[in-house]
Amino acid sequence: MRYNALCIVAVDFDAKSREIRRLALSVDNADAANDMQWNVQDLKDHLNEIERKIAALQNNVQVMLNKFEKMIRDLLVDELHAPAKRNFS
């Protein structure tokens, strides 16, 4: 590991185990160091939104499958009854 790299640990220490102090706060999340930081709640909200969209998509797919199955079933029933209808016409 390079000496100037930051270690990823529960507390803020640099690569030489020195405590990091006086770190400036981000300004409108424009700082390069803070640009990639996400709030835990933001991540949870994003995950919940993705899960909601997946559930809606699964529901839509199931509805379409049910309609498709019904269409096939109706076509098969019509085809099976076609000879009988011709005999009585």
pLDDT in tens, 15-53: 777 877 776 666 665 655 555 566 778 888 999 999 999
Answer whether residue 74 is part of any domain: yes
Question: Is 24 inside a domain boundary?
Answer: no
> Has residue 80 been placed in a domain?
yes
More confident: 58 or 10: 58
Q: Which structural domain range is residue 44 located in? A: 38-89
Instruction: Give the pTM.
Output: 0.47
**pLDDT (average), residues 68-89:** 82
Whether 65 is in a domain gets the answer: yes
What amino acid is encoded at 72 in this protein?
I
pLDDT of res. 46: 92
Say how many domains are in the chain.
1
pLDDT in tens, 47-74: 999 999 999 999 999 999 999 999 999 9
Instruction: Give the CA distances from residue 45 to residues 5, 51, 52, 55, in Å, rounded to whole numbers and listed in that order.
Output: 31, 10, 10, 15
